[in-house]
Amino acid sequence: MKNIIDFYEKYDEESRPTAGNAKRIEFLTTTHLLNDHIQSNHKIIELGAGTGVYSFYYAAMGCQVVATDITPHYIEIIEKKLEKIEDELHLEAKVTNASDLNQFEPEIFDVVLCLGPMYHLTETRDRDRCIDESLRVLKKGGLLAIAYINKHFVINNIAAKDSSFITGTFVDNILDSGVIKKGEKECFWTDAFFTTPNEIESFIDTFNVTIIDHIATDGISPILKDAIDSMSEKQYMAWLHYHQKSCRDKSIMGLSNHGLVLCRKMQYIPPLKNAVE
């Protein structure tokens, strides 16, 4: 985890989600989907909260929110932002590893937002533990939202932005393992994990959940950043409308930068008293 913390300690996560119209699409689409399921009386934990853009959004709606991140600098930013807000928000921030939530009691949250950890859990056991821990602290019937980065977007984006990485070995590694690590020749970021819509669904199906929705949250908008950022407001709203209308289309979902899967933690239903043996 040290490589990831070192990277984000120096990265401007604060401006990333809203820096330009192209980048705003992920936030607008994610909240558009989540708002159909999150109520103002819900208790939420966000894992990998960064500087808290989603946590502040839902706290402002009246939710009780715990924002967590493995990067201490981001938690400091959240706390400083809280100090400047005059309105009382039910929001607290904690340095926390998403794969170890032992400081939280079982089944105390209505919603778990896992909107960042999957990007950087390069080991299968850590991804398993992250979801296990998310479900442990989630109430039965509660909502688990899991974000991921698509393998196919990665290859297309690298081809467009820095084609020097495009080799047969690079392509095979992204498609076969989905893992890059700092120090390796073909690492263009930091320790990271990429997957596909089909692979993430197969992974999630191994847990005690029901998948209730699955969308592409930003499509190819990051690749088209210059064009989208130069659109008029009317054109931008038409583009956003197109994206949100097509974000469940399986034929293009795998080309999106980010994907989001919504799940419900299954509830135990006891057998009927008069059920026939």
Neighbour tally for 96: CB within 10 Å: 22
Closest CA to 112 of 140, 142, 89: 142
Where the chain has pLDDT below 50, the residues are: 269-270, 273-277
C-alpha dihedral (80, 38, 269, 138), degrees to nearest 10: -10
d(CA 145, CA 67): 14
Inter-axis angle of helices 151-161 and 168-176, nearest 10: 150
Q: Amino acid identity, residue 62?
A: G
Does domain 2-151+193-265 fall under CATH 3.40.50.150? My reply is yes
pLDDT at 274: 43
pTM here? 0.93
214 three-class SS: strand
Helices within the chain (DSSP H only): 2-9, 21-34, 53-60, 72-84, 124-137, 151-161, 168-176, 197-204, 225-229, 233-246, 250-253
Neighbour tally for 150: CB within 10 Å: 24
| Contact criterion met (CB below 8 Å) for 46 and 55 | yes
pLDDT at 276: 41
Domain ranges of the chain: 2-151+193-265
